[in-house]
Amino acid sequence: MRRVAPVIIAFLSGFVTVISFCFNPDKTVLGGIEPRVLSWVTIVGGFTLLLGVVSITRVNWQAVHRKKEGWPYKFLTLVAMYVMAVPAMLPSSWSPLFGDAEGSIYDWLFMHIDAPMMGTMFAMLAFYIASAAYRAFRARNPESTLLLAAAVLVMLWRVPMGEAFLRLFGENVPGFINTYLMNGVNAAVQRGIVIGAALGAASMSLRIMLGIERTYMGKG
Amino acid sequence: MHRLPLKLSLVAAYNLVLLILGSEPALAQTTVDSVFRWDRLNAMILLVVFSVVILLYIKWAKEGKPLFLRKIPGLEAVEEAVGRATEMGRPVLFIPGIQELDEIETIAGVSILGRVAKITAQYETPLMVPVRYPLVLAAGQEVVEQAYTEMGKHDAYSKDMVRYVAGEQFAFAATVNGIMVRERPAANIFMGVFAAESLLLAETGNAAGSIQIAGTARPEQLPFFIAACDYTLMGEELYAASAYLSHEPLMLGGLKGQDLIKILIVIFIVVGVILVTLGIGDTFYGWFDLGN
């Protein structure tokens, strides 16, 4: 039963969700079942958040307790998590510092520490792109030289100064890049990948619904 | 009691004939008031055809018919990567994407994790799986524990192999980058949904000297992985990975069925291009229009 029940649930959930695509949500319950089923994921996910908190606490506390290398950072992680989470969970009626409204501890930490740090991480992507592009666009063989030429043209076309430069070689050069490189070769390859991925996803869904693919269930 | 299904079947058959004859407005008129979305009947027919083909190939695979599958270098390299990690005495880092478990790519990632965990269990190589969502944490822990149990290495399993690190996208990326720099895993395997953090992770792993295998169905992230990783599974290869690594005929049958559907799609595309170029492709195009 432990192995069969999850397969039956997976089959029914998948089947009903697929079938609901072809039913009118205004006329039948079946038509509107997909968003309802998907909202269950959010509800279940909310309850399992506690698992995440337990996992972070256990892994980091063990490192702190055993004074492993870098334990002060682990301790800081724990402090940061609880200092941010606990005041946010307390009712704002007790104090304006509690809850997640403007002026609360949570809001202050989010606006002044969390958001800038996220922005910093995202901004660092520019340097990573530069180093990856340097490696990817080296002219080692005819194929990579072609890639380099295409990349240079697209990068020039994407910035106003580069576009102005390209127009020196002919008014239609930027349009040529847009039509043939981006909307031609690039779009065709991307669509090929998307079609293949969609078929792969459908095939995998079928394998899951039929209980052929059961690895994701673990002990099931 | 049986009138409604009968009526629906008759209307479906009638609309199918109209669809084949190219009378699209008839379908559109029935959409607003009917229980069934007749404008999506084409999707249902395609789904049935697709399912039948996959099931046929699975049946043939079950009967023992030989099925040829092309080699996927990225998946062939998984065992090599784990072997390298074992020789170097360093861990294997597996990231099942950064999305929730309701994404089919994440389920594919978790399935591949199960196969990889069997290999790490076999070689007794340390495995680290940082995750971004608690549901993925629960599924990942189950999958890894099962893999270690099946390989008879349950003692080597630790619940903390799969760990929740952060719910924020870039906090997750920063934590994983920290793990890559501090623990220096010999192999990094990225399988699932990735977004802007894909290059942050893959470049850091590259700088740390790890062998890297990535797989995603997001076309916008593929160039980053191709630039920074040793092997990249593109789109459908991600979904094929679990079946490929399992070597189970039942699973491989599904992959062959998928290939036949791809050939059909290519034929439809070529026919459609020719018909549209000749200016007589509207009806044909309408067959594949899903409506709103």
Which is nearest to B172 in space by CA: A54, A118, A81?
A: A118
* Fold observed for domain B73-246: Rossmann fold (3.40.50)
Q: Specify the pLDDT at position A214.
A: 84
User: How far apart are alpha carbons B218 and B103 in whole angstroms?
Assistant: 12
Tell me phi and psi for residue B233, to 5 degrees.
-95, 125
Domain range list for chain B: 3-66+249-287, 73-246
Residue B228 has pLDDT above 70, yes or no: yes
Mean pLDDT of the B228-256 span = 88
User: How far apart are alpha carbons B203 and B196 in whole angstroms?
Assistant: 12
Cβ contact, residue pair A56, B163, below 8 Å: yes
Q: Specify the pLDDT at position B26.
A: 45
Q: Among B35, B102, B163, whose Cβ lies nearest the Cβ of A28?
A: B35
Q: Specify the pLDDT at position B259.
A: 86
Cβ contact, residue pair B134, A122, below 8 Å: no
Mutation for testing the A interface, residue in B15, B143, B203, B222 having most A CBs under 10 Å: B203
Residue A78 has pLDDT above 70, yes or no: yes
Q: Specify the pLDDT at position B31.
A: 53
Which residues 28-87 of A are in CB contact (within 8 Å) with B? Answer: 28, 31, 38, 41, 44-45, 48-53, 55-56, 58-59, 62, 69-70
Cβ contact, residue pair B170, A18, below 8 Å: no
Domain range list for chain A: 1-87, 90-123, 127-217
Residue B65 has pLDDT above 50, yes or no: yes
Mean pLDDT of the B200-204 span = 96
- Amino acid identity of residue B132, one-letter, is R
| A18-67 pLDDT tens trace | 888 888 888 888 888 888 888 888 888 888 888 899 999 999 999 999 99
SS3 B152: coil
Mean pLDDT of the B32-53 span = 86
Residue A161: partners with Cβ closer than 8 Å, 6 or more residues away: none
Q: What radius of gyration do chain A's Cα atoms show?
A: 26
Which chain A residues have a beta carbon less than 8 Å from that of B199? Answer: 125, 128-129, 132
Q: Specify the pLDDT at position B6.
A: 45
Regarding predicted confidence, which is higher, B5 or B49? B49
